[in-house]
Homo-oligomer: A and B are copies of this chain.
Amino acid sequence: MLQSKLFTKTRREAPQDEVSKNAELLIRAGFIHKDMAGVYSYLPLGLRVIEKIKTIIREEMNALGGEEVSLAALQNKDLWEKTGRWDDTVVDNWFKTKFKSDSETALAITHEEPITNLMRDHVRSFRDLPAYVYQFQTKFRNEVRAKSGIMRGREFLMKDLYSFSRSVEEHDAFYEKSKKAYLNIFKRVGLSDKTFITFATGGIFSKYSHEFQTVCDAGEDIIYISKEKGIAINKEILDDENAAKDALTEIGVTRESLVEAKAVEVGNIFALGTKFSEPLGLTFTDEAGDAKPVVMGCYGIGIPRLMGTIVEVMADEKGLVWPKEVTPFDVHVIILSQKDPQVCSYAEDLVSSLERSGNSVLVDDRDLRPGEKFADSDLIGIPKRIIISEKTLQSGQIEVKDRATGEVSFMNEGQL
């Protein structure tokens, strides 16, 4: 894509009310637009990152046997009353609104109630289970504060998978598989070194749930990491004497060995048991002909939060730094003598050749000074930068710069 055709422009300053590093850089680089506090729109470069992340997650969810759906945002009050979650004193971050008939509705904060209700139409017997259903869908959460940029939006895209199993054993086996899929995801987006499975409080149906926490200064959470085991415990558990003792024993570490760190919860998985299937009547007939409630689990990843965390962890003083797998473009080709027809024709051939070998390329063909182009390129953060100038033509050597390390190398076209 030609940068001269991209409608977004970079800018020196983010809006004054923006205090988070991730949103500040993403706004300056033209990836997102701030509509209001905690409400962001995604521009072409930002949307490309979102789509890359979605593709990785979709592949991992499909590999788990997940089937993709897309549930409505507007919620049926009756369902949430049955589970006791409609009440504002129970759930305090609803956006509620009304139909013309004056009956109440609200915007989905999550989708356990509607998916459980929906499954009633499709689950009859043990033969219909297990089932794993997921979506990428907007959640709306009326946060009191939204000062973490896209890491805590009032409206954000979430991948949420729900599992429907016949027994606790069947659920547990899937839950373990989902941990591996989650670790794959965080590895593929470039966060594996800093991301820890973290013991968190469970609920009636399980002692623990599990968070995936990425160590990051901008994190709102505190975790306690066992470097030896590669596992962490969250603050909530460690602050409770009994829970802490149990968790430390289970993991096999001492409290003293744990290292405190600020972290961002980039994902979580939760055993729901029959918390939703019982009140909403999602049952199946087992082999003996008895009706039993379905055993459920939920598995979430906030897509913008993950994107924001990547920004926070990778960016440097010059701007964004994208890992290979989620970058908006693979290569940034910068033409320095854009008025020289020989240079342009050389660049065109090179870009075609890069694209033929499967690279997506952003080509800076704008009539700007080299310094401005380099600064924009650093800000946008595409992993590989190639500079094409008269010098390139003369030497036959292409200058390639790695955005993350700053390393410059010279290559022939065949080596790219």
Contact = CB atoms under 8 A, between A and B. Distances in A.
B69 A100 contact: no
A50 interface: yes
Interface in A121-143: 121-124, 128, 131, 133, 138, 140, 142-143
A42 interface: yes
Interface in A114-166: 114, 118-119, 121-124, 128, 131, 133, 138, 140, 142-144, 154-155
Interface in A52-77: 65, 67-76
Interface stretch (A28-36, A202-210, A262-270, A369-377): A28-36
Contact of A138 (B11, B39, B69, B138): B138
A105 interface: yes
A315 interface: no
Contact of A50 (B42, B70, B100, B154): B70
Copy number in this complex?
2
Nearest to A114: B35
Nearest to A95: B97
Given A36-B76, A47-B68, A7 B122 contact: yes
Interface string A63-103: 00101111111111000000000000000000111111000
B118 A67 contact: no
Contacts of A72: 35, 39-41, 155
Contacts of A33: 118, 121
A255 interface: no
A41 B185 CA distance: 27
A414 B95 CA distance: 57
A43 interface: yes
A142 B44 CA distance: 30
A143 B69 CA distance: 25
A9 B122 contact: yes
A195 B47 CA distance: 32
A248 B400 CA distance: 63
A70 B97 contact: no
A229 interface: no
A8 interface: yes
A5 interface: yes
B100 A144 contact: yes
A271 interface: no
Contacts of A41: 69-72, 114, 118
Contact of A142 (B9, B100, B131): B100
Given A5-B65, A7-B133, A41-B70, 11 more contacts: A5-B67, A39-B72, A39-B74, A43-B69, A73-B73, A73-B140, A74-B140, A95-B97, A95-B98, A96-B97, A138-B138
Interface of A: 5-9, 11, 30, 33, 35-36, 39-44, 47, 50, 65, 67-76, 95-100, 105, 107, 114, 118-119, 121-124, 128, 131, 133, 138, 140, 142-144, 154-155
